[in-house]
Amino acid sequence: MKRILPIFICAILSVSLTASEDILLRLEGDFLAYSYDFNQIYGENVEFSFSSYRVSCQYLKVDLLSQIFYAHGDVILKKEEEELNGDEFLFNPKEKKGTLINYKEKIELKNIGDEKGESSLARNDILDELNLSEIQKSFIYFTGQLIEIMADYDIYGYNVTLFVEGFQSLGFKKFKLSEGIKQRMGGFSIDKIWYTKSQGIIARASYSYVRKDKVNSLTQLNYEEHSVLKNYSGAKRQVDVMTSTTLNVDQSLNAGMTGNYNSSNLWNTRLWLNKNWGGKIDAMVDFSYNKPINLKGEAWIGLQSNLNAGKVGTLSFLGRFELQNQILTGLSYTNTFFNKINLLLSSSYSQIRIGESQDYSKIFTGGVSLSYNTRIFNLSTDYYLNYDLFGNQLLSQPQLRFGLNPFSFYGGLLTANIYNVFIYNQLRAEDLRQYSYSNNTVFNLTTRPIYIQRNFNLNFNVALEQFLEKEGRNFTSGGFIIRAEKRVFKGVSLEGFYTIQSRRKTKGWLIEGTTSQDLSAVLNVNPSEKLNGWISFSYDPKNNQWRQSFADVSVGLIKNWKFHSLINYDFLLKKIGNVDLYLIRDAGRFQLRFIWRSLSKQFLVELVPR
C-alpha cells in the first residue's frame, strides 16, 4: 500500500475535478426526436438561439456526424429591431455561420455571421433521408421537447421518453447519450463491476484529467476479489494501479510520468523529459525504477537522441546506465544514396548483471545493411556480428539477398517472381570454430483469370522452392493451385480449387518426402440483400476421403435484425465440429449481437461500436 500512495499522489496532484461542458446548441420544440443509432435529430416547431438571433422554424434536421444543421419551413431570425424570413436556413453553430435561403422569383441567399463569405446550394443526400420515420426505425431513440447539444456533440435530453426497438420504455428527467467509446473529458468513474466464475468479482475504476493541449492524465485501478471462489489457489485478492501523465510545456518540450503497481509486489515508474530543436534534433532524458517480484529493484538513467541531417543521414544514439553498474548503449546511422541505395550501420554494447551474482554479461553487436533497389531487381547484403565478451564467443552472420521484382509477360497474363537468400554463419569460441551456410531459392508464377466463357474463368499458381545447407540436407518443395469460378445464375456462383504440394528432403542417399492434395468446392449464394451464404467442401483425392465442410448463412429478418450461423462438419471424425449462431441488430453506430458458441458452450451478448 505504501507504494500505491506515491503513484496516486503524483496522478492527482493539483488537479481539479470534472471539466465543465459548454452547450453548443439548445433546442426547444413541440416535438424533438434523437436517434442514437444514426446520431441525428428531427424536430417540429423548433426554437433556438444562433449568433445573436432567436431562430424559429417549422422543421429542423441535424446530422451530428457530418455536422449539418438544417432548418426549413417558415424560418424566422429575430434580434432586437431586425427580423429576417426565409424558407431554409443552413448553419454551423460552432463556426457561428449560416446561410438563409428564400425561393422567390429567384433563389436568394443571405449569409448570416459571415457576410463576405461564399454561399452555395449543395445537394445533401443525408438530409434527404433524414425524417421522423427513419428516426423511428432506430434501435434506440428518445423524444422530448428540450435537447441540448454540447460542444463535444454529446446529447442531453430533458423530460424525454426512451424508445428501444420501437417500444416505449422509461421516461427520464435528464438523459444523456454520448458517442459510445469516447474518452471522457475528466473526472472519476467506475467503469466496470463484474463477476466471473474464473476470476471472481472484478471492479475497474479510473480517474482522468485533461487540460486542452497541456495536460493529459489517466489513472486506472483494477481490483479482483478471488476469495468468493471455491478452490482458487492463487492470491485472495489482487490490486493493480496504472497511471500515465503527459505535460506539454510548449511545442518543443514535453514531460511525462508513468507508474504501475501490482499487489503481487511488483511496481515500476518512469519519468521523462523530451526536447525537440527545429524538428531536426531531439533528445530525451529519462529515469526509471523497476521492482520485479522477488528480485532486487533496478534504477536506470537514460539519454536518447536523434539527429536528422537531411541528405547527410540520420544519426541515433542511446545510452542507459543502471546504478548497479549495468549499461546499455547503441549507435546507428542510416541514409539513402541516389534514391536507390539504402545504408544502415548499427552497433550496441550491453553490460547486464547475471541474476543476483556479481558477474556481468557483456555483449557487443554490430551490423551493416546495404540494399539496392531498381525497377527490375533488388539486392541487399547484411553483416551481423555478435561478440559475447563474457563467454568469449563471436558469432558473425553475413547474408546476401537477391530478388527479381515481379515481372509480367504475355500481356500481363503471367507474372513471375524469383528471389534468393544466402546466409553464412560463423561461430568462434576459445577452442571452437564452426561455420554453416544455407541458401534458399524461391520461384513463383501466377496467372490472371483466364475467361473460358463469359461466366467461367480459371487461374493458376505455381511455386517452387529449393533449400540447401552445409550439413547436406536439401529440401525441395513445389506446389500447384488451380482455381475455377463459374457464375451459375444471378446471385449464385461456384468456385473450385485443386492444390497439390510436395516436399522432398534429401540427405546423402536418403530421400524422404510427402505429397498432399486437396480438392475444394465453394458454393456462394447471394440472391438478395436479405439472404447470402456459402458452403464449402474439401476432399483428399490421394487418400480418397472427404475432409471438412463449412457453411455460413446470413438471413435478414425484420427491421435491421439478421440471423447468422457458422457451421463446421468434420468428415474424418464424422461429427459437427462447431456451430456458432448469431442474432445481430445493426443500429447505425453500433451492433448488438447475441451469440451462441457450441465449442465453448457460451452465450454472449456483445455491443460493438462501428
Partner 1 sequence: MEYVYLCKKVDDSGTLLKPLDIQSEYTLEDEGIICFVRIKDVSQEIHLRWKWYSTDKQMVRDTGKVMINQDEKYLEVVTAYDRFRLNPKDKEKIEGQWTVVVFLNDKLIARKIFQINK
Find the part of the chain contacting partner 1 (CB under 8 A) among 104-112, 177-185, 315-323, 515-523: 104-112
Residue among 73 and 319 whose Cβ is closer to partner 1: 73
Q: Is 496 in the site for partner 1 (CB under 8 A)?
A: no
Q: Give the number of other Cβ atoms within 10 Å of residue 83's Cβ.
A: 11
Contact with partner 1 (CB under 8 A) among 28, 37, 87, 485 = 87
- Say whether residue 606 binds partner 1 (CB under 8 A): no
Distance separating alpha carbons of residues 234 and 168, to the nearest angstrom: 47
Segment lying near partner 1 (by CB under 8 A), choices 11-19, 67-75, 186-194, 449-457: 67-75
For partner 1, the binding residue among 80, 81, 82, 105 (CB under 8 A) is 105
Question: Rounded distance, CA 143 to CA 141, Å?
Answer: 7
Q: What is the CA radius of gyration of the chain?
A: 34
* 135 close to 166: Cβ distance less than 8 angstroms: no
Nearest-approach distance from CB 79 to partner 1, in angstroms: 22
**CB closer to partner 1 out of 106 and 574:** 106
Q: Which is nearer to partner 1, 52 or 85 (CB)?
A: 85
Report which residue type is found at 551: A
Gap between the Cα atoms of 226 and 238, Å rounded: 8
Q: Would you count residue 88 as binding partner 1 (CB under 8 A)? A: yes
3-state secondary structure of 543: coil
377/424 Cα distance (integer angstroms): 22
Contacting partner 1 (CB under 8 A), which of 3, 26, 72, 473? 72
Mark residues 114-133: x for contact with partner 1 by CB under 8 A, - for none: -------xxx----x--x-x
Please give the Cα distance from 390 to 364 (Å, whole number). 10
Residue (103 or 195) nearer to partner 1, CB: 103
Judged by beta carbon, residue 74 or residue 191, the one nearer partner 1 is: 74
With binding defined as CB under 8 A, does residue 65 bind partner 1? no
Interface pick for partner 1 out of 49, 58, 316, 386 (rule CB under 8 A):
58
Smallest distance from the beta carbon of 120 to partner 1, in angstroms? 10
Cell numbers 540427405 correspond to 507
Q: Which long-range contacts (CB under 8 A, 24 or more apart) does 253-262 make?
A: 257/10, 259/6, 259/7, 259/10, 259/11, 260/7, 261/3, 261/4, 261/7, 262/238
* Choice from 104, 197, 375, 574 touching partner 1 (CB under 8 A): 104
Buried b (16+ CB within 10 A) or exposed e, 374-399: eeeebebebebbbbeeeeeeebbbbb
Widest Cα–Cα separation across the chain = 105
* 30 scored as a contact of partner 1 (CB under 8 A): no
> Interface with partner 1 by CB under 8 A: which range of 26-34, 101-109, 176-184, 233-241?
101-109
Of 47 and 154, which CB lies nearer to partner 1 in the complex structure? 47
Number of residues that bind partner 1 (CB under 8 A): 18
Listed residue (31, 51, 50) closest to 42, CA to CA: 31
Rounded-to-integer distance, Cα 342 and Cα 53, Å: 63
| Residues facing 511 on adjacent strands | 506
Of 5, 52, 67, 103, which lies in the binding site for partner 1, with binding defined by CB under 8 A? 103
* 14 is a site residue for partner 1 (CB under 8 A): no
In angstroms, what is the minimal distance from the CB of 106 to partner 1? 5
Stretch that binds partner 1, among 102-110, 408-416, 490-498, 560-568 (CB under 8 A): 102-110
Q: How far apart are CA 447 and CA 480, in angstroms?
A: 12
Cβ 162 to partner 1 shortest distance, Å: 24
Which residue's CB is nearer to partner 1, number 131 or number 168? 131
Question: Which of 121, 301 has the CB closer to partner 1?
Answer: 121
Rounded to the nearest whole angstrom, what is the least distance from the CB of residue 113 to partner 1 in the complex? 21
User: CA–CA distance from 463 to each of 111, 143, 423, 445, 482 (Å)?
Assistant: 66, 63, 22, 6, 12
Taking the complex as a whole, the smallest distance from the CB of residue 109 to partner 1 amounts, in Å, to 8
175 to 214: interface string for partner 1, x by CB under 8 A: ----------------------------------------
Instruction: Compute CA distances 546 → 539, 541, 571, whole Å.
Output: 4, 9, 6
Footprint of partner 1 (CB under 8 A): 58-59, 72-74, 87-88, 103-107, 121-123, 128, 131, 133
